[in-house]
Structure 1
Amino acid sequence: MSTEAALAGNLFFTWHAEMKFRLDFSIATSCGTAFGHAEGELDFAIEPSIGDTISLMSAPNGAVVPRGHVSGGHLKVVERIVRPTCMDPSITLLLEDMIVDTASEATATAAYLKEGFGLFVDAHDQSDANGSD
């Protein structure tokens, strides 16, 4: 047996490279009102594929997703956009919509995504959504 083979049998890999991906998803209420759009970059240990579930249930800062989220902070990857490798990150993951019960819970969830994950949330003007000026 070669030295490499003997060593390979005894190695434990605890280090893993992190890969940066751009996330993109909408936030809406369960009654169908569009609240806004969230996007930003996150690091993953593996490359997510279509159908995989991304957990936004607990943030790196220790915060947990506010109550009222229909799927508990888990969103499926519905599409992947691959861009030239000169662009960083080169893969954008389009996630299913994040559905929350009410507009106030959407506001709390948006704050959680900003503070906990550093995502940019572009909230729609809610006065327009309600038909007022």
Structure 2
Amino acid sequence: MAKCEMKMPDEFLDKLSKLGDRFDKAAPKILQSGGKVVLSAMKTNLEGRIGKDTKYPSRSKGDLLRSLGITPALQDRNGEWNIRVGVGDSIDREGVPNALKAQVLEYGKSGQKAKPWMKPARRKARKPAVQAMEETLKKEFDL
């Protein structure tokens, strides 16, 4: 799965650590709220990159765009909560992995220049995603 990773600000993590066990019940909802913001930014950027500045007309059928998604929030063996936003392990109608197409768009290949869409989406969505998670946290715990 193509993925991007964001580290949360220390002050936000300090607020979370004060909640203790109550946080574990609310974590999936909080992470989903931030993930939705990132997913929206990724879809917008990807739509803007597909078929732009090409020699030939685009043959895109929208499979890559439809493959973008959010995984459920899961806790790893270290006790950290994780969620992934990006392209899954799916393949398109032609049998081409969508992750491969995403990588070629992001980094380019021989004869095709890079059209970054994932890194700019991550940069653009970082602050709004953290704000969305903080708002959800406040709603959950009446902070």
The normalised TM-score by structure 1 is: 0.32
Larger Cα Rg: Structure 1 or Structure 2? Answer: 1
Question: TM-score, length-normalised on structure 2?
Answer: 0.31
Structure with the largest fraction of helix: 2
